Structure 1
Amino acid sequence: MTSEITLFVNPTAGRGRGAHAAQPAASALRTAGFSVRTILGADAADGLRRAREAVESGTGALIAVGGDGMANLALQAVAGTRTPLGIVAVGTGNDFARALGLPVRDPAAAARTVAQALKEDQLRDIDLGRVDGTWFGTVLASGFDSRVNDRGNRMRLPAGRFKYDLAMVAELAAFRPLPYRITLDGGAVHEVEATLVAVGNGTSYGGGMKICAGADLTDGLFDITVVGDCSRSTLLRVFPRVYKGTHLEHPKVTVHRAARVELVAEEVTGYADGEPLGPLPLVAECVPGGVRVLGP
């Protein structure tokens, strides 16, 4: 393992927490004896290009500093390679870091955890999802939740997570279940009226909402959570239970497991790790051992 590692920084994550986190993270890594190179990038495409160059040049690890969006961008650089990925999570949701058991919003502690993992070879291979060559680590969302994302992304004000709360209220007012066709492993076809369909490699999205609470990062399968044609009042009752994962017990919720899933629905955007993938139809494949990660 080379002692040179790369910090991949999003300066805008968490309203600027990404930029502030880079210094204590780098300091903790250097104290542990590592040579640290920091890359930013003028935009996502430029940052990804620089990250891929670091991986190709043989960096000992790529450490993403930011939120789930930054972790997702880093995945595009390291997936399918043997370069390990670490995360210094300082974003809004931080679901991927939580899935890996890493500290969140404490950059020095996260960097110390990464340094210890590098020194003690605490490396493990976990599954990833892939859609048309784009990798994801946590959840592919579609339906009501992705429409909330669509609306929130169009809103300029207010800033932060509050705009997504407002977007949720607005989407509830226009809420209606949608017809889906879900094909699992190229065989079983489910035609359902659904409020949302979530394809989970990891358990949670949105900062701890355990939409796919039973998902396992190492079993080679997705957990596919289907929330059926529930009414607006039922959705309001069931939704708070998602933070504990107990929504899976509701009769309107079903869970399937598959390594490949095709989702077909009209006027629905798919989001993975909170990032837009594009409109359905989409095919997601679970890739066993898609990335090597650092952590306890």
Structure 2
Amino acid sequence: MSRSFTAIVGPAARHGLARLMPVAQLLRAGGARVRVEYTTGVAQARLLARRCAAEGDVVLAAGGDGTLRCLGAALAGTDGVLGVVPAGRGNDLARQLGLPHRPADVAELLLHGRPRWIDTVDAAGETVLGSVYAGVDAAANERANRARWTPSGLVYPLAGARALAGWRPTRYEIAVDGGPPMALTAYTVVVANSGFYGGGLHVAPDARVDDGLLDVIVLGCASKLLFPLVLREMRSGSHLRRAEVTVLRGASVALSTDRPVPAYADGDPLSELGSLVLRARPRTLAVLAPAQ
């Protein structure tokens, strides 16, 4: 039986739409029904996603991590299935899931792939798919989101360098699975469901999206001159060998700071962090993705 797809496109999805069109043509050539629905905001997109999934359609997200989070949050905890056409600047969750990028390969997976159940994260009532990060990287993300004319390959490195220049370390308290809090002075804390963030940085190499656990990566105090090297090491995950990096793991993480710092989730602002509790929600979202 052929699948039916509904692609939900937001107001800022020009690039996503350009990536979607050749995939949609291949899906139709393969016998699938494809419709495209345009929305004006997050609330409308999520409502439409739930309705289309209830009608039996695969909901197509053509975009980056923010788009996946928007539509994935609507389907989490339901029987709805999410299909992905990677079309963002970072595509970090797509990278973690091993999703293809060539239109023919994307269409083949969407037509014939089996749903894979992955974890999501509850962050004070918000649903997150990839990671939550609070500190200098969130400040860098703010700058990257404002960048309009910077080449895509330079957006995150330049934003990171500029954010780091004016940043001062923060005192964090981290409690895992209800245990006693650990106090650490750090530049950032990343609570990861998926191992990648920041446009390909392998910040949590041991993270798995279906193990029911969150990986906590703490980048402690170090010379700012060391940061370019640490960022380079994050491409391969070798930064975990550094003494300045602390790794924790658990199903729930309580996080607090001694001053308000920006917190981001999947490339979008989450809040200004004072305190936050994050909980893994095991295997709550079905995504068309290669078997692990």
Q: Could you state the TM-score of these two structures normalised by the residue count of structure 1?
A: 0.90
Offset, 1:137: 1.5
1:113 aligns with 2:109: yes
Q: Which 4+ runs in 1 deviate beyond 3 A? A: 10-13, 151-166
**Residue number in structure 2 paired with 1:228:** 220
Q: CA contact under 8 A between 2:170 and 2:187: conserved in structure 1? A: yes
Offset, 1:176: 2.0
**Residue number in structure 2 paired with 1:135:** 127
1:252 aligns with 2:244: yes
1:197 aligns with 2:195: no
Larger mean Cα displacement after TM superposition, 36-45 or 192-201: 36-45
**Residue number in structure 2 paired with 1:59:** 56
Larger mean Cα displacement after TM superposition, 235-244 or 196-205: 235-244
1:218 aligns with 2:210: yes
Cα gap change, 1:239/1:178 in structure 2, threshold over 3 Å: closer, same or farther?
same
1:241 aligns with 2:241: no
**Residue number in structure 2 paired with 1:172:** 164
Larger mean Cα displacement after TM superposition, 17-26 or 220-229: 17-26
Distance in 2 of aligned mates of 1:152 and 1:85: 27
SS in 1 for 2:56: coil
1:204 counterpart letter in structure 2: F
Gaps of 5+ in 1: none
Gaps of 5+ in 2: none
Offset, 1:115: 0.8
Distance in 2 of aligned mates of 1:162 and 1:258: 34
**Residue number in structure 1 paired with 2:19:** 21
CA RMSD of aligned residues (A): 2.0
SS in 1 for 2:69: helix
**Residue number in structure 2 paired with 1:103:** 100
Q: CA contact under 8 A between 1:143 and 1:197: conserved in structure 2? A: yes
Cα gap change, 1:207/1:156 in structure 2, threshold over 3 Å: closer, same or farther?
closer
Given candidates 271, 285, 288, the residue that maps to 1:291 is: 285
**Residue number in structure 1 paired with 2:44:** 46
Q: Could you state the TM-score of these two structures normalised by the residue count of structure 2?
A: 0.91
**Residue number in structure 2 paired with 1:186:** 178
SS in 2 for 1:267: strand
**Residue number in structure 2 paired with 1:269:** 262
Q: CA contact under 8 A between 1:209 and 1:243: conserved in structure 2? A: yes
Distance in 1 of aligned mates of 2:281 and 2:201: 23
Distance in 1 of aligned mates of 2:20 and 2:143: 31
Offset, 1:161: 5.8
Offset, 1:71: 0.7
Distance in 2 of aligned mates of 1:212 and 1:164: 18
Distance in 1 of aligned mates of 2:267 and 2:207: 17
Cα gap change, 1:165/1:9 in structure 2, threshold over 3 Å: closer, same or farther?
same
Given candidates 49, 64, 67, the residue that maps to 1:70 is: 67
Q: CA contact under 8 A between 2:164 and 2:224: conserved in structure 1? A: yes
Structure showing the higher strand proportion among its residues: 2
Distance in 2 of aligned mates of 1:235 and 1:165: 11
